[in-house]
Amino acid sequence: MIIWDVDTQVDFMLPHGKLYVPGAEETVPAMQKLVGAARAAGIAHVASADDHELTDPEISDRPDYSTTYPPHCLRGTRGARKIPETEQEDPIPVTLEALPERYLSGREFLLLKKSFDVFTNPNADRVLEHLDPDEIVVFGVATDVCDDASIRGFLERGRKVVFVEDAARGLDEARVATCTSAWRDAGVEFTTAERVISSLSG
């Protein structure tokens, strides 16, 4: 098992963030417990994070909130940082550049990305293959955007996925309903942070 932490960054998670996901801050205690339990159990913690520049195709002054969004998680800004509750202790930063094999030996990986889909970072597949988990426990934001892209990517790669409902929030409820229904049909298991923590400590 590994935990896969999707974009728990200030700009998404907190009300003053540049692209705040409504209610995201309510999930912080569950996220913090998941990260702490995984660390205590020695379980790998993989996190994705938007790493934008103003020239990225996703960034727009006239966003459609489907394929383009206002400036957010800009490299070097406070908004791009992970919230303290999900911060990793000593992560290996994984950019889009070639990753030497020797760096695949850690327990914490921070996958930087320019798009919704973490697999647009070519090293995401390498990290996943290296860890080769029997199941991937997914939490984070936003359910109907980057969570959806990650989970669809895992399913395409034949991976077992567990989604932590109380440690995630979406931008649009109709889209959330559509994508979670598709995940259920594809065999994704839905759970709570408490159940995951119980299984890790059990």
Task: Please write the tens of the pLDDT for every residue from 55-109.
Answer: 999 999 999 998 999 999 999 999 999 999 999 999 999 999 988 888 888 899 9
- Across the chain, which has 202 residues, the per-10-residue mean pLDDT values are 98 98 98 97 97 96 93 97 97 92 90 96 96 98 98 98 98 96 98 96 76
pTM, 2 dp: 0.96
Domains and CATH numbers, the chain: 2-201 (3.40.50.850)
Decide if 2 contacts 137 (C-beta within 8 A). Answer: yes
Decide if 135 contacts 157 (C-beta within 8 A). Answer: no
Q: To 10 degrees, the CA torsion angle through 152, 197, 141, 104?
A: -60
Opening angle at CA 30, ends 29 and 34, nearest 5: 115
For residue 133, the model assigns a pLDDT of 97
